[in-house]
Structures are given as structure tokens and as C-alpha cells.
Chains A and B, each alone.
Chain A
């Protein structure tokens, strides 16, 4: 039955698209825009308009029927409100950047798309939060407070408490404080790990590209061997071994985890920097430098590296997100960052069963989504910034 409705809707849209194009041709006196418009494009316009209308209609639906909350409408509203809020904040942030600061930074902000402004804003906020976590957080990350399982939202009518705006977890720790400390732990560790992976993979990759021969073979085959094992399972295996070595000292487990993820991820960086390096090393200016008698460090750091910034930077952004997600996954599985340290992955795991409440108590289901949202937000923000930097450095114009 539903299928028939979908089919009928599609046919109606196709008809509308045809009418839209015909109408456009008639109304504009056959301007090339409408005259040469393929049918698919016309359909796209009509579909987009229909979706927009539907979302507006859905947004203004009542949030509950007969006392039962309608989870779909509530979550949709939150999503739209969040989206608009972030867009507005990013717009204001860009406006601020355009009017405050040096001539150079103003110019930078003027040429910046809104997505990049959003990304930079989020990254700055995360950086501030993780650096000053101890000052900002209302409670300690390990502090067990009075009541457990207080619902986020601070509304006493549905089980909230204004003292804990985002509620408390299953043993009564403040979720807001743990989110803030989680930024410090998760983001900080991910950043260190990514830097290590780049240092290792990047330098070995360039070395392999420049020298070639047996060194290249040796390194590349070693990397192939490492890459042949699924990354997460490999990491799990190694961390299990490391945990046995570390004994009871949980900070040692964290150090081992950083090293293990750095090595596993450096294989991807190695592949990229070797490929990029091989394209650069055949350039005539490298040959000119070699014939001048330049040494290896000059070749790699002064001649090659500046030309590899763009792809490496893009990879750094992506790699950071992957490392970050790997740490969260490991923590979710219980082998990553060790309790009682707060970590977003662990938080999602601990509160995950509340997802089941989504259908009838949307506020309760939010608890695990907060940490997941924090992860998603940062990932999106980093990618926006990296996209923009790539676009800029590749010299592409709009």
C-alpha cells in the first residue's frame, strides 16, 4: 500500500516537473535557462520544493497526541532548531571576524564560506573547552552526586533537575561536566595520536619516495602487511596484550593505546605521502636541486614538503576524525580510555540502553546522544575546515 502511495507521489512529481518546465518556457519567452533544461533538472527543482514544503508542514505538527509525545516531530524540531542556531552562530562569528582583527584576518574571513566559519568556530569552542575544562565544568568528572539517572533538560515535571541541566548518568555523575572533561581526554589524545602518526608515516613515506630501491620495498611491504589486518581488530588485539603488560596502571594503557593507534594509522599516512612524494620527486626542480648537490633533509623539507601541504593537510583532518572515532570505538568496547576518566565513547556505551526510550520519552533518549553528538559535531567541523583549506590551496576559484 505504502509502495503505491510512493509511486503515485513520484508520478505526480514527474507531471509537476513537466508542467514546471513548460510553464517556465512560456512565462520567460523561451529563455535558454528553461529551454535547455533537461527533464532531470526540472524534476530536481520540483522535488526540492516538495521536500521543503513537507519539512515546513512537519515542523509545525503538534508535539504530542493525546498526551503521548510524538518523537519524530520532537527530534525533527530539535534538528531544525539546532541547524538554524548553528548557522546563525556561524554567520555572526564570520561577521565578527570580518570586523575585528588585523587586515589579513579580516580579508580571510571575507573570502570564507559559511561552512568553514562554522568549522572554525566549533574547533575554537572545543579547544577552549578542553583547555579550560577544570574551570568551566560545574562538577568533577569522577564526582558521584546525589541522584542517578536524572533526565536531561532540567524540567522537574519529567524527571529533570535544574542543577544538572544535562542530567546525570547511571551512577549519578553530572553529564555536562563529563562531556567537558571528555573533550579534554578524547580530543587531546586523538590530537597527539594523529600528530605521532603523521610524524612517523610522513617522514618514512617521503624517505621511501626519495630514495626508492630496497628501502622503499622494505617499508612498503611492511606497511602492506600491517594494512592487511583489519585496523580495529588489530588494535583490540594489541591493546589486550598491552593491558597485560601494563598491569594495574591505567595511564600506561592509555600510552600504549596512543602508540598502537599511531602506528596503525601511520600506514595510511605512509601510503599517501609516498604517493604524493613520488609525484613531486620526478619534477625538474627536484632534479635541479639534486644536481646542485643538496642533501636529503633539504630536498625533503624545503623542496618537497611545501608542495605536499595541501593533500597532507586534508589527510590530517580526515585522519584526526578517524583516530578520534577509533578511540571512541575502543572506549565504547571498554578497552580505550579507562574509567573513571570521562570519555565520549564510554559515555555513549554506558547510556546506550536509554535509546530504547526514544519512542515515548524523547528527553530520556537524549542522554547517550549528547556524547555522540559531540563526536559528530567535531568531525563535521574539522571536515568543513579541511575542505575549505584544500579549496584555497589548490587555487581553485568559484
Chain B
């Protein structure tokens, strides 16, 4: 066999913190042939992105390659001079960042940024590369390919921006592209579109690619082979099909098993019982524009209602109506059969206490200047009137409940916790009020799959112990399958379908529910092909939504 295009041997990378160098990557090897796609997967902190950047001979500030070699087509990028690297990067090696919205320069039009690389590397003139850019936009199935390049980044949607960035990476027809979580920030329906176009274009130009993601189902569609990483060590590497069907290592198996968590179905609600929370014909507006139209659903005691839909469908707005942050224009909210004041400022302490909220971004939901004990202790003191020793005992009990050791965590600041632990503190703060009802707003979407599973299990356990009711806002249908009893599907501020979970996952569906369900990537490498065949090439993602 000929020499691989990219050959990484015994790569060690260190990061500097507290005046010492700590290892981040411990001796990883990687081979990539021309036209081949390798998937790098692992939790956050596993070193996926670090390896991705290192394959361009680049490290972030405060990080260094301590030993090993990264040989790209005969050139060792670790020891190559800056000038030599400049000649390769952008021309033969390209990079697609996670957040296209943050990576484009907002002050320049897309096409000006697109043509910069080819012109700089003297691959083609500005005019030629503009024409080529339009052609690439067409192949990536962007709407109005002739015209879209002359817009500014903020005038283009997230999924389109991600595709424009892929086009930009293709501008010099590189031999290697590094995709760093290109679809993580996108809705499922948009994700499919980006995935399909990335795969097409990689195949068309026979480009090699490193595809970094934490979503196994996505990597199954994209990669020829998969490498699993854990804390800077390689766990295993194998051909995609082999890896999915017969993972060897325990860690890989546990990753694969995450998606199988599902709680047993509960008996259905007794008809005629009073729901804990009842949303009655709510219509709400931001300014003069209605964003919710006649939304109604009930949440019964001890049950979880999942509210599903893509971003902008009104899920979080519904939550804001229930909490009273956005008083509805029409309709009202009932709690235990009693009508609640619409504005949260008019609700009394008892009413506020009964409905608590857990937020998506644990980072912004916890005050960074308050210790865990203060954060959890405040609602204990505020609602239950406990002080001193009693308060402390209650806080410790709550920490026990969320499975964190009290003596170890009580006096820490949020910055000293991991993402999953912060989310647990958010749960504890909600529990501290001893509520009946909790709104969970995308609580797992910012977390790794293993950690997210832990949070879901914890929420399920608490529900069983305390008889809590949840309103679970999410766009991830795997989460819905795992935790919900009932499902409400929303689109454009309207409820399109609602019912018991079992019913919802059985056909017949509302066409939008069907689209959502079928867009969730599955762990089958042929899934994307089958889906595209079924929908027809031009009928995926946004296009399919528009046709409805």
C-alpha cells in the first residue's frame, strides 16, 4: 500500500496550567489515505479538537506538541517552518469550525471571504474563484447560489452558513479537510441537509477528511473508519461497520449503550383527575407579533410531558408563559385547578415556589460568585425559612440527593465544577423549593451523552421518589424517547400534535412529526442513504419543511 496522505505517529501534546505542563494527548497514531474519512469521537475533553488542530501542525495558545510527528504528504508539520506551513494550510489542508456564525467575519460578504484563500495562494483569480464559489454553493444545495455569496453572514441562516463554510474550505480543492463538530449547533432537520451535502462534496472531489463529533449516529453516516478517544488516549480504532456492530472495549460499549436508556411506561392518567399544570388556550406575543397561537396542554402529577420542536417553534416561550415572565395575551395558566396570575410579580410566594425551572446553560444559570452552598441554601432559607444548622443540613441532604458528596462540594464555586455537576446543582436549586412541578429547558443539550444520560436517570429517580411533574423542553427525540410519558409537538408557535409517547412514536403521524422523527440520525451506516432515497435528493431538511 502506498504512503498515507496524513500520518501521525506517537503524538504527545501538553497544555500549560498552574505553571506546569500537563499531558492532553498521550501518544496517538493516525493514518489517513486519500479520499478516506475518519471519525474522531469521545466526550468533551477527550482531545478530539486538539488532534484535529494538530493535524494542521497548529496548537492553541498555551498548548504545545511535545513529541511525535504529523507527516502530511511527506512534510512533517511539527518541525516545518512557518512559511512552509503557510503554503499548505488553506490550500491543501482546510478546516471547518464548529460555529460558522462565530467563525465568519461579520464585516465581509461571504464571497469575499470565500475567494480570499484561492487568491492568496494564487490558485485562481478573484473572478474565477467567484464563479467556482457559485458552483460549489450549487453543489452544496444552497438556495439562490448565484446571489447568496453576496450577502453578509448575518443575512444567512445557521445551516446555510455552515454549508458556505464547507464551500470555503473546498475553494482550493484541498486534499484534507478537518470538520470540527460542524453540525452540533444545528437542528435535526438542518443537520441532515448539512450532512448530506458535506458527504456529497467529499465524495465528488475524493477529499480525505477528519470528522470530529460526539454524536455517534452522525459519525456512523460520515466516516469510513472510527477512532474512539478517552482523555487523550486512543481507546480503539476500526472500520465503521465493525465498530458499530462489535465494539471491543468496555468504554466504547458504554458509549453505544447510552441511547438505549428508556424508562418503563407509566399507567395512563385517570380521566377526570385535575392536572398539576394546565395551559389553556394561550396566545402570547413579543411586542405586537404573536409567537404562540392557542396553545393548550395538561401536565398530570408524576408525569413528564416532552415539548418538542425545532428552534423558534415556541417551546421556550411556552415555558416563559407558564412561569409568568411573559404574560400571555389571551388564555391562562391553571395550577392544581386554580388560575394563576399571569404576571410572575403578582404571584405569591407559594405559587412561585410550586413551579421551578432548570436551565439549558448551567453556566449562566448559576451565579459565578456564589458557592454551591449559598446557591442551594438561598431557596431553602427563602421559602422554608430555615437558618443556620437546619439550613445546612437541608443543603447537605439536597446534595446527597443529586449524588454529590456534600463535604466536598458545599464550598466550591461553579467554576470548579464540570458541566454535568453544574447541571446537577441547577436541579438541586429547583428541588430546594420543594416544588410539585419543574420545567426542564433543554437541560441535557449542552452535555456529553454519558453525562446527559446520568442527568436523565437522576431526574427519573427524583420523579419516582417525590412524585414531581416535568415539562421537558427538548429538540432531541432520543431524550424524548428516554424520559417522557406524553409528547407535545410544536411548530411555528402552534401545537401540531400531542398524545401519549407510545402513540406518538407509532404511525400515522402529522407530516411535521414524521419529518422530525425521521431526521433523527440512527446508528445505522446506511440510514442517511436510505433516507435520502426515500425523500428524494431535493426534499430534505429545510426544503421538506418549506413544501409542507
Instruction: Enumerate chain A interface residues (CB-CB to B < 8 A).
Output: 32, 35-36, 283-285, 287-294, 303, 306-307, 309, 395, 397
Q: Does B155 contact A (CB under 8 A)?
A: no
* Chain B interface residue count, Cβ-Cβ cutoff 8 angstroms: 31
**The residue from A285, A294, A303 contacting B364, defined by CB atoms under 8 A apart:** A285
* Contact status of A306 and B369, CB under 8 A, knowing A287-B325, A288-B359, A294-B382: yes
Q: Which residue of B lies closest to A294 (CB)?
A: B382
Q: Can you report 18 A-B residue pairs in the complex whose CB atoms are below 8 A from each other?
A: A32-B81, A35-B81, A36-B81, A284-B361, A287-B325, A288-B359, A291-B323, A291-B344, A291-B357, A292-B379, A292-B433, A293-B347, A293-B348, A294-B382, A303-B367, A306-B367, A309-B369, A397-B17
CA distance A108 to B82 in the complex (A): 40
Expressed in whole angstroms, the minimum distance between the Cβ of A282 and any Cβ of chain B is: 9
CB-based contact B382/A292 at 8 Å: yes
Please report which residues of chain B, range 466-500, place their CB below 8 angstroms from some CB of chain A when the two chains form the complex: none
Expressed in whole angstroms, the minimum distance between the Cβ of A111 and any Cβ of chain B is: 10
CB-based contact A290/B344 at 8 Å: yes
**Which residues from A are CB-within-8-Å of B415?**
395
CA distance A141 to B359 in the complex (A): 63
Q: Which residue of B lies closest to A35 (CB)?
A: B81
**Which residues from B are CB-within-8-Å of A395?**
415
Expressed in whole angstroms, the minimum distance between the Cβ of A35 and any Cβ of chain B is: 5
* Contact status of A307 and B344, CB under 8 A, knowing A287-B325, A292-B379: no
Q: Which residue of B lies closest to A393 (CB)?
A: B369
Q: Does B349 contact A (CB under 8 A)?
A: yes
CB-based contact A36/B382 at 8 Å: no
4 smallest CB-CB distances across A and B, nearest first, come from A306-B369, A284-B365, A36-B82, A284-B359
**Which residues from A are CB-within-8-Å of B323?**
291
Q: A283-B364, A291-B325 are in contact. List 17 more A-B contacts (CB 8 A).
A: A32-B79, A32-B81, A36-B82, A284-B361, A285-B367, A287-B325, A288-B357, A292-B378, A292-B382, A292-B383, A293-B348, A293-B349, A293-B382, A294-B382, A307-B367, A307-B369, A309-B369
Q: Does B300 contact A (CB under 8 A)?
A: no
Q: Does B368 contact A (CB under 8 A)?
A: yes
CB-based contact B366/A285 at 8 Å: yes
**The residue from A35, A284, A306 contacting B370, defined by CB atoms under 8 A apart:** A306
Q: Which residue of B lies closest to A306 (CB)?
A: B369
| Contact string against A for B residues 348-391, beta-carbon threshold 8 Å, 1 for contact and 0 otherwise | 11001000010101001111111000000011001100000000
Expressed in whole angstroms, the minimum distance between the Cβ of B204 and any Cβ of chain A is: 36
CB-based contact B369/A288 at 8 Å: no
Please report which residues of chain B, range 409-468, place their CB below 8 angstroms from some CB of chain A when the two chains form the complex: 415, 429, 433
CA distance A291 to B325 in the complex (A): 8
**Which residues from A are CB-within-8-Å of B367?**
283, 285, 303, 306-307
Expressed in whole angstroms, the minimum distance between the Cβ of B324 and any Cβ of chain A is: 8
CA distance A35 to B357 in the complex (A): 57
CA distance A285 to B364 in the complex (A): 6
CA distance A306 to B367 in the complex (A): 9
**Which residues from A are CB-within-8-Å of B357?**
287-288, 291
CB-based contact B429/A288 at 8 Å: yes
**The residue from B18, B83, B352, B361 contacting A292, defined by CB atoms under 8 A apart:** B352
CB-based contact B365/A288 at 8 Å: yes
CA distance A294 to B378 in the complex (A): 10
**Which residues from A are CB-within-8-Å of B433?**
292
CB-based contact A307/B368 at 8 Å: yes
Expressed in whole angstroms, the minimum distance between the Cβ of B437 and any Cβ of chain A is: 13
Expressed in whole angstroms, the minimum distance between the Cβ of A260 and any Cβ of chain B is: 35
CA distance A285 to B357 in the complex (A): 11
CA distance A294 to B345 in the complex (A): 10
**Which residues from B are CB-within-8-Å of A306?**
367, 369-370
**Which residues from B are CB-within-8-Å of A309?**
369
Please report which residues of chain B, range 268-324, place their CB below 8 angstroms from some CB of chain A when the two chains form the complex: 323-324
* Contact status of A291 and B352, CB under 8 A, knowing A283-B364, A397-B17: yes
CB-based contact A284/B364 at 8 Å: yes
Q: Which residue of B lies closest to A307 (CB)?
A: B369
**Which residues from B are CB-within-8-Å of A284?**
359, 361, 364-365
Expressed in whole angstroms, the minimum distance between the Cβ of B128 and any Cβ of chain A is: 31
Please report which residues of chain B, range 34-86, place their CB below 8 angstroms from some CB of chain A when the two chains form the complex: 79, 81-83
CA distance A395 to B413 in the complex (A): 13
CA distance A283 to B414 in the complex (A): 14
* Contact status of A293 and B352, CB under 8 A, knowing A36-B81, A283-B364, A307-B367: yes
Expressed in whole angstroms, the minimum distance between the Cβ of A354 and any Cβ of chain B is: 51
CA distance A284 to B369 in the complex (A): 14
Expressed in whole angstroms, the minimum distance between the Cβ of A213 and any Cβ of chain B is: 13
**Which residues from A are CB-within-8-Å of B324?**
291
Q: Which residue of A lies closest to B344 (CB)?
A: A291
**Which residues from A are CB-within-8-Å of B17?**
397
Please report which residues of chain B, range 74-131, place their CB below 8 angstroms from some CB of chain A when the two chains form the complex: 79, 81-83
Expressed in whole angstroms, the minimum distance between the Cβ of A287 and any Cβ of chain B is: 7
Expressed in whole angstroms, the minimum distance between the Cβ of A138 and any Cβ of chain B is: 48
Expressed in whole angstroms, the minimum distance between the Cβ of B262 and any Cβ of chain A is: 29
